[in-house]
Each structure stands twice: as C-alpha cells, then as structure tokens.
Amino acid sequence: MGRVLILHTGGTIGCRASSDGHRPAPGFAELLRRRLWDSGEPELPEFDVIELGQLIDSANLSPAHWAQIAGLLVVHWQDYDGFLVLHGTDTMAYTASALSFMLQGQDKPVILTGSQIPLSERRSDGLDNLINGLHLCMTPMLAEVCVYFNGRLLRGNRTTKLKATELDAFASPNLAPLGVAGISMELNRGLLLPAESLSFRIPQFDAEAVTVLSLYPGISARAARALLDHERVRGAVMLSFGVGNPPDANTELMQVLEQAVERGQVIVNRTHCLYGKVDQGTYATGNSLTRIGVTAGADLTLEAAFAKLHYLLALDLVPDQVRGLMLQPMRGEVSGV
C-alpha cells in the first residue's frame, strides 16, 4: 500500500476549544490515529506523523515557514510515496503556492488540507479531508502540490480561500478542479502536471522583500509611497481595478509607481477580481502601467503572485529576469500569455 508522511504544521484541525478561543492541543497524533481507526475506512495507507515543534496559527505564517515546511519534505522525500501537510486554512493557499515553486520537478503528491472544525469535535470536517487526502497521497499520477478540501482537489497555486466559516472554503477561480470526490475520486487527467527531473530550491526568504499595494478610490500617493519607499522592499503585488486599471488621473500616484520601477522594484499588477485576468492593453488607463514598466499579472491569484515574487526575488535574479519569469508558467500557476 505504500507509506505517507503526515506533516502537522498547525491550524484548526489540531485545535481544541479554550476560554480564549481555539488553541493547538497536545496529543494530536494519537487523536488522529484513533479517529482514522474508528472511521472503519478500508485500505488506508500506512503513515507516520511529524509535528512541528512550534505549531503555526496560520494567521502568523511568514515566508520563513515556507522554507521550514519545504525543508522537512525534502529531507524525507525518498522515504515516502506521498505527503499530507496539515495546515491552517487562513494562509494555506500561500503555502501551497510557495511549495509548488520550491519543489519543482516533484514526482510525488504533496496534498495540503485541514479543517474548518477541529478534529476533536464531533461535527469536524477534518476526518473526510484526512481520509481522502491520504488516498490522494497514493496517487502516482499526482506530481504537484494540491489543496484537498470538502470534496475537491485543487491545484495549490491556483487556490484561494473564499469563505471564512463554510465548509467549502476554497476555490480555484480560473482553473477547473483537478479532481472531485463522489462515489470515487474523479481526476481531470488532462490538467495534471507531469513529473519531471527533481530541481528543488529552498531559498532564504526576506519577509520584507514583497509588499501588497491595494488600490482603492481616492488612494493617495503618500499611502503608496509609505509601502514602496523602503530599501528592503524589492517587489510588490498591486491590486488594481477590472482588467488591471489604475487611477491614472492621479499623476502623483503614477509617479510613485514609476519611481519604484526605476529603483529596480518589480511591481506585478493583479486585479481585485477573482475571475478573469489582467490585460493592460484593454484600456488607456492600463496602458499607462505598461509604459512605466509595471508587469501585468495575467490570471495569477494574489497568493500565487505573492509567493512567486518572493521566490524569484530570493533567488537573487535581476529585476528584468523576475519580470519575465512572473508571466512564464513554472508550475501551472498562470495561463500562457
């Protein structure tokens, strides 16, 4: 049946209720084994459980945690047939995206999952996610980082969290699910990435290297400058309107963006909209960004754009290399342009 490594990084699935809210609970590995045994699910693969010494509330996640998780997977890569990463839902899509870039060429499944209700509670959605996640870890044709949640298998770097409290928390707005759980797990084989030669790279991330600039009606140049005008900021994901339109009538704001590009900062334009993609050539306002050197982010999710920009900058590439690679699909994260 093979063997799976379950890496418990934290999150709701391993919490118990306390007087000040849910907190990580001791003895989670024992609870996990008991719940799986009591489920009566046949033919589950053998598995081992590793728990981070300091569990992460995913709201506290930093890019350094991406490298920590990837490092543990790489150390154990040859010992297991697949990897199930238990993670908090708040920033799961960020971690899934980052792992997809660090584990390039992977030849085994890495499945991220968790729950909206702790496994210790009777109504937990975690047990179903665990069972299906374990089965998916034994699917040789899966050679990528995925999120499995509430019956759907999603490409990790196409995933975003849509709902805070409902069980169908995740979606991949611009890519169909890789699989849907029914009587059996139906995989969309035409979308799956092929296994390639292993080329893992786990860089050292600088948490301050990338920021997010969200445009809104009336945004001031001062607000943008406060985010961008810092020596450690090397890139930014900018959230704009529609198909990538800024308020170009705000000439002072546009000057701030142009000066950032001239300093060598990489600004990636991502729309506020969940569906569709950035096309800076559609409107004159969008063209104004092209003229000053802002990179159109196509249909990258915010999470994928943020993680990919962090990853490329951590490789110490020159800005023009980073700008070019942002639009080239590395692990299926962006549609070809």
Mutual angle of helices 251-262 and 284-292, in 10-degree steps? 30
CA 161-53-200 angle, to 5 degrees, is 65
Distance CA(194)–CA(187), nearest Å, equals 14
Euclidean distance between the first and final Cα of the chain, in Å? 41
Task: Give the span between the Cα atoms of 224 and 218, in whole angstroms.
Answer: 12
CA gyration radius for the chain?
21
CA distances from 183 to 24, 147, 186 (A): 33, 20, 9
Task: Please give the single-letter amino acid code of residue 116.
Answer: Q
Q: Which segments of the chain does DSSP mark as H helices, in order?
A: 28-39, 63-75, 92-102, 126-136, 221-228, 251-262, 284-292, 302-314, 319-326
Q: Give the active site residue among 12, 113, 159, 211.
A: 12
Half-sphere exposure of 118 (CA within 13 A, CB side): 17
The CB density around residue 281, as the number of other CB atoms within 10 Å, is: 12
Using alpha carbons only, give the angle 231, 209, 106 rounded to the nearest 5 degrees.
Answer: 155
12 is catalytic: yes
In angstroms, the CA 215 to CA 220 distance is 9
Neighbouring C-beta atoms of residue 106, cutoff 10 Å: 25
- Residues with a catalytic annotation lie at 12
